[in-house]
């Protein structure tokens, strides 16, 4: 990237002689007297001689010879004379010697080609832009000349890369330098105080066809498409990338000049004849520019190569993409393996202690929010050290693997089974009852005892001692995880102390919490469906396992308001007290006599097991029809809410004091 200031501060930028500047000022005034134009030209004998010579050339084909500037100016017109004066000035700016001579020569040749093409294109549109178009065509790449003079080293690198890669020069200039010759050209037009028509046409002469189409409402649209197409013709005749130029030229002439591809050859021949006449005026040798047909053959070869390269690039890109996709899959697989190793015990393949600790903390937090029970079961293989000493560590590893397998298979999907360390295993039990966690622990104990594990053809008896605990977290969960683990561990050692191969269960649930849990259990939609004999327990249990977890739990206060059990003011009152004492929402509501225990159980049941969610699952499993489900949900809500109200308030809206 370069700083544009490096261009604008250069003392090598092209300048205009005084006569050209004066002619530009006169051309802007419609009331200019032709005598003033003649006198201005005569002030510069060199330009006078060149204009007079040009007027007698085949380029203008005047009927009679002009022997003086006084006759030439009226015949040519003020704008043509001004164009010639500017052109001769630019011709001198483009003449240079040294290592960049070929670059300056190429620039000036292409400028002449573009001016001739612009003149013919303007005539084809049937407008009155012919003479203006000639000059704009000549000036459209003035930014290129300015950059050659001010930042030659940087620009040559861009030009060489554009030729090598067969890319658009303006696009590569923007990419490598941060500015392109069209932008520099517009700035030069502003410095020379040229009209808006000049600036607009130069600004857009490298626009895409789609970008040009969007400019159809611009008052200078004809000038814009004329100069854009003349630029493509200049690239076609003078650029080494004639293939790209031909492709662009065909698109432009078809879209904006309604010129079929077959007619393009004839038009390009006309352009060549015209720029050869202009070359005589400006004394430029165009012999190295081939005929349109010769260039067409080269351009078509380039297009074939570009097409083949695009196909190869596409094939290679597809191959690279396939490799990338394969690497992505491999990395994802490796990542999953690493994640699995991070949370699984390498010997038994069940979850490890690290995973348990994280999952346990999350479950405690969730249970604290919903006032639901959490339980853990500790299992320790009996006499494991003796097994290792007697049969060897390899047999001990086999015992650990087999015990882990049967115990893991005996748990529910909602439970989490882990190897806690050594010969100890732990199960985190979701929403257990005291009887439920006892049954689970006993089932694990029995399966371990009945597992047949042999050493050298002889069965070796394997047993385990288990301890379990169940509790309901309060809102303040600090230290609860440690207490539950300690209680379960002590219960397990109690089993060992009493003879091993047995289960002991402890509960740290408060009496009030236990009673509330019983009420919540009876209030749930699933229990109501079983009570009404709509489903049996095994069927509803399977449906509950299939019931998707909803988003964030609806807050009890919101549910209480929705069920018209509390007002918004009462909910706010409870929340304020909750901030002070840290108790649960339901506890405070009962203490403040805003809700009964039954009503708290009712809204807790709605929170834990939304009846609509379970209803949708039953419909999905094709156990109920949608109409029947809606009727059952409505009946459940009416009956459960009514039974939760105090006797004196049943069958009527709750009355608040």
Higher pLDDT, 369 or 307: 369
H/E stretch holding 420:
strand 416-421
Residue with tokens 């009673």: 515
d(CA 175, CA 334): 39
pLDDT tier at 314 (50, 70, 90 boundaries)?
low
**Each residue's pLDDT tens digit, 391-444:** 999 999 999 999 999 999 999 888 999 999 999 999 999 889 889 999 999 999
pLDDT tier at 542 (50, 70, 90 boundaries)?
confident
Q: What is the pLDDT of residue 510?
A: 85
Which of 33-42, 205-214, 258-267 has the largest mean confidence? 205-214
3-state helix, strand, coil in the chain (%, to 5): 65, 5, 30
Residue 34 has pLDDT above 90, yes or no: no
The residue ranges of every structural domain in the chain are 5-9+96-290, 353-509, 522-649
Give the pLDDT mean for 531-544.
90
Q: What is the pLDDT of residue 491?
A: 96
d(CA 233, CA 248): 9
Which of 262-271, 282-291, 497-506, 538-547 has the largest mean confidence? 497-506
**Which of 186-200, 255-269, 547-561 has the lowest average pLDDT?**
547-561
Residue 505 has pLDDT above 90, yes or no: yes
Higher pLDDT, 649 or 549: 549
Contact 470, 507 (CB under 8 A): yes
Q: What is the pLDDT of residue 399?
A: 95
Cα 47 to the center of its chain, rounded Å: 61
Q: Coil, strand, or helix at residue 24?
A: helix
Q: What is the pLDDT of residue 579?
A: 87
* Two structure tokens written together for 186: 């517009």
**Each residue's pLDDT tens digit, 198-242:** 899 999 999 999 999 999 999 889 999 999 999 999 888 888 877
Residue 137 has pLDDT above 90, yes or no: no
Q: What is the pLDDT of residue 634?
A: 92
d(CA 526, CA 640): 12
Q: What are phi and psi of 653, to 5 degrees?
A: -65, 140
Q: What are phi and psi of 377, to 5 degrees?
A: -120, 125
Strand order in the sheet with 416-421: 416-421, 424-430, 374-381, 464-471, 503-507
Residue 313 has pLDDT above 70, yes or no: no
Q: What is the pLDDT of residue 286?
A: 83
Q: What is the pLDDT of residue 446?
A: 96
Q: What is the pLDDT of residue 654?
A: 47
Q: What is the pLDDT of residue 643?
A: 74
Q: What is the pLDDT of residue 657?
A: 35
Residue 483 has pLDDT above 90, yes or no: yes
Percentage of residues in the chain having pLDDT higher than 90: 35
Q: Which spans in 166-291 are helix H?
A: 169-177, 181-191, 196-203, 209-213, 221-238, 242-256, 261-281
pLDDT tier at 492 (50, 70, 90 boundaries)?
very high
Tell me the HSE value of 141 on the side-chain side, using a 13 A CA sphere. Answer: 27
Q: Which spans in 547-625 are helix H?
A: 556-562, 568-581, 585-591, 597-608, 611-620
Report the CATH fold assignment for 5-9+96-290. Answer: Hypothetical protein af1432 (1.10.3210)
Cα 375 to the center of its chain, rounded Å: 44
d(CA 14, CA 181): 14
By the 10 Å C-beta count (0-12 exposed, 13-18 middle, 19+ buried), 464 is classed as buried
Q: What is the pLDDT of residue 516?
A: 86
**Each residue's pLDDT tens digit, 152-164:** 889 889 888 888 8
**Each residue's pLDDT tens digit, 589-629:** 999 999 998 999 999 989 888 999 999 999 999 999 999 99
Give the pLDDT mean for 482-510.
94
Q: What is the pLDDT of residue 53?
A: 84
pTM: 0.48
**Each residue's pLDDT tens digit, 372-403:** 899 999 999 999 999 999 999 999 999 999 99
d(CA 130, CA 222): 11
Contact 370, 554 (CB under 8 A): no
Higher pLDDT, 514 or 313: 514
H/E stretch holding 469:
strand 464-471
Higher pLDDT, 273 or 467: 467
**Each residue's pLDDT tens digit, 94-121:** 666 677 888 888 888 888 889 888 888 9
CATH of 353-509, one of 3.90.660.10, 3.30.70.270, 3.40.50.720, 3.40.50.10420: 3.30.70.270
CA neighbor of 500 nearest in space, from 554, 453, 462, 547: 462
């Amino acid at each position: 990237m370069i700083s544009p200031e490096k261009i604008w501060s250069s003392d090598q930028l092209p300048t205009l002689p005084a006569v050209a500047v004066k002619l530009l000022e006169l051309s802007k005034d419609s009331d200019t007297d032709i005598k003033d134009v003649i006198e201005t030209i005569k002030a510069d004998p060199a330009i006078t001689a060149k204009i007079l010579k040009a007027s007698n050339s085949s380029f203008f084909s005047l009927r009679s010879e002009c022997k003086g500037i006084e006759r030439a100016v009226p015949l040519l017109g003020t704008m043509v004379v001004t164009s010639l004066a500017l052109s001769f000035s630019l011709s001198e700016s483009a003449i240079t010697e040294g290592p960049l001579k070929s670059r300056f020569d190429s620039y000036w040749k292409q400028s002449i080609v573009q001016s001739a093409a612009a003149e013919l294109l303007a005539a084809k549109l049937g407008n009155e832009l012919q003479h203006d178009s000639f000059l704009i065509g000549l000036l459209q790449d003035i930014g290129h000349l300015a950059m050659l003079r001010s930042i030659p080293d940087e620009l040559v690198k861009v030009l060489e890369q554009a030729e090598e890669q067969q890319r658009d020069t303006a696009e590569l200039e923007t990419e490598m330098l941060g500015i392109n010759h069209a932008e520099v050209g517009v700035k030069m037009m502003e410095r020379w105080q040229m009209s808006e028509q000049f600036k607009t046409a130069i600004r857009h002469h490298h626009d895409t066809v789609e970008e040009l189409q969007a400019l159809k409402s611009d008052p200078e649209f004809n000038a814009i498409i004329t100069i854009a197409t003349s630029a493509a013709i200049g690239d076609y005749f003078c650029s080494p990338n004639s293939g790209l130029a031909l492709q662009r030229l065909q698109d432009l002439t078809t879209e904006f000049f309604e010129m079929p591809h077959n007619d393009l050859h004839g038009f390009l021949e006309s352009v060549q004849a015209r720029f050869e006449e202009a070359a005589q005026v400006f004394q430029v040798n165009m012999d190295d520019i081939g005929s349109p047909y010769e260039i067409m053959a080269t351009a078509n070869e380039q297009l074939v190569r570009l097409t083949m390269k695009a196909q190869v690039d596409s094939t290679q890109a597809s191959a690279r993409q396939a490799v990338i996709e394969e690497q992505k899959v491999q990395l994802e697989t490796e990542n999953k393996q690493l994640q699995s190793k991070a949370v699984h015990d390498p010997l038994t393949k069940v979850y490890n202690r690290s995973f348990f600790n994280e999952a346990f903390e999350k479950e405690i937090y969730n249970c604290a929010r919903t006032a639901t029970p959490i339980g853990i079961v500790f299992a320790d293989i009996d006499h494991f050290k003796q097994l290792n000493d007697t049969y060897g560590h390899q047999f001990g590893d086999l015992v650990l693997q087999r015990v882990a397998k049967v115990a893991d298979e005996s748990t529910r999907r909602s439970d989490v089974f882990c190897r806690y360390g050594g010969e100890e295993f732990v199960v985190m039990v979701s929403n257990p009852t005291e009887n439920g966690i006892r049954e689970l622990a006993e089932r694990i104990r029995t399966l371990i005892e009945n597992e047949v594990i042999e050493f050298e053809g002889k069965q070796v008896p394997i047993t385990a001692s288990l301890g379990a605990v169940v509790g309901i977290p309060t809102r303040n969960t600090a230290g609860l995880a440690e207490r539950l683990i300690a209680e379960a561990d002590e219960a397990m050692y109690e089993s060992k102390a009493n003879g091993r191969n047995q289960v002991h269960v402890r509960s740290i649930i408060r009496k009030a919490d236990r009673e509330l849990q019983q009420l919540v259990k009876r209030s749930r939609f699933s229990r109501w469906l079983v009570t009404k004999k709509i489903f049996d327990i095994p069927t509803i249990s399977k449906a509950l396992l299939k019931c998707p977890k909803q988003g964030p739990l609806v807050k009890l206060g919101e549910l209480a308001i929705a069920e018209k059990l509390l007002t918004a003011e009462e909910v706010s009152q409870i929340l304020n007290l909750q901030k002070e004492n840290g108790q649960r929402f339901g506890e405070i509501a009962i203490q403040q006599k805003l809700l009964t225990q039954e009503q708290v159980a009712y809204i807790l049941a709605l929170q834990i097991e939304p009846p609509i969610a379970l209803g949708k699952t039953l419909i999905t499993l094709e156990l109920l029809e949608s109409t029947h489900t809606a009727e059952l949900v409505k009946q459940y809500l009416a009956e459960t809410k009514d039974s939760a109200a105090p006797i004196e308030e049943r069958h009527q809206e709750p009355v608040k004091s």
